[in-house]
Amino acid sequence: MRATYRSAPERDEAIVPPDRRTIHEILRRDIVALRLRPGERLSENELAARFGTSRGPVREALIRLVEDGLIEVLPQRGSFVSRIALSAMERARFVREALEVAIVRRAAERGIPPATRALAEVLLDEQAECRDDPERFTESDDRFHRAFAEGTGLASVWAIIEREKAQFDRIRYLSLPAVTPVDILIGQHRAILAAVLARDPAAAEEAMRGHMAEVLKVAHDLARRHPDLIQADL
């Protein structure tokens, strides 16, 4: 299958050719957001032309994507976007739940700065406005979760979550908005914020665990609907 490379226009307008880290970041986002779908072939030559660079940085970026579990290399055939493995999604969900529960418990125990509360409330309004745009909603969702990490002095922990959650996010993109109603997710966000503001660590933990479990409710159904995209290995 020949790949079509779709990305935000501003990404392709850079005057200076991007380095391997930037290429990796852009391709990772495209794979996670399903702009590059499982099974699509990634040509080093085409990618080098797209980014206006040599094949070296592209090859290094592809190696990192293999390490991320987002592409696979087939001998004599080339590099392809990997299917979404439910086992990898569950590992990512496990890591994310453990860390985010610790974050919101700390937020509830110690309180959050007024700026964090204000940002969270703005993001909740934003999520309601972009409910029909999966990419905008997911970006706002991430900013909501990241706000608690940053507001409790744990920004470096969010960096770990960001690194680990790619497979989790691919399922999220596939589920929105038809399978997982956005209003449910927004309601869960409101419950998390309310528990933190009430300084109730147990309620904050319960709300976060329920939120993180939402993806499990739809993962196997999505695998049945999209066997070409998802590897049901759980």
Residue 3: the pLDDT is: 42
Residue positions counted in the chain: 234
pLDDT band, residue 15 (cuts 50/70/90): low
Residue scoring higher pLDDT (6 or 193): 193
In sequence order, what E strands does the chain have? Answer: 41-42, 71-74, 78-81, 84-85, 230-231
Please check whether the domain covering 85-231 is classified as CATH 1.20.120.530.
yes
Alpha carbon distance 12, 220 (integer Å): 36
Residue scoring higher pLDDT (177 or 13): 177
Alpha carbon distance 81, 84 (integer Å): 9
Work out the mean pLDDT of the chain and round it to a whole number: 92
Pairing state between β 230-231 and 84-85: parallel
Residue with the two structure tokens 């976060």: 208
Residue 177: the pLDDT is: 75
Residue 17: the pLDDT is: 85
DSSP code per residue over 138-180: HHHHHHHHHHHHHHTT-HHHHHHHHHH-HHHHHHHHHHTTTTS
Alpha carbon distance 34, 45 (integer Å): 21
In the chain, where the domains are located: 9-82, 85-231
Residue scoring higher pLDDT (21 or 179): 21
pTM of the model: 0.85
Mean pLDDT, residues 86-112: 97
Mean pLDDT, residues 175-199: 93
Q: Which of 31-35, 176-180, 207-211 has the lowest mean pLDDT?
A: 176-180
Q: Which CATH architecture has domain 9-82?
A: Orthogonal Bundle (1.10)
Task: For residue 53, give the DSSP letter.
Answer: S
Contact in structure between 187 and 164 (CB atoms under 8 Å): no
pLDDT score of 4 more than 70: no
CA atoms within 13 A on the CB side of 131: 14
Residue 8: the pLDDT is: 44
pLDDT band, residue 81 (cuts 50/70/90): very high
Give residue-wise pLDDT tens across range 196-217: 999 999 999 999 999 999 999 9
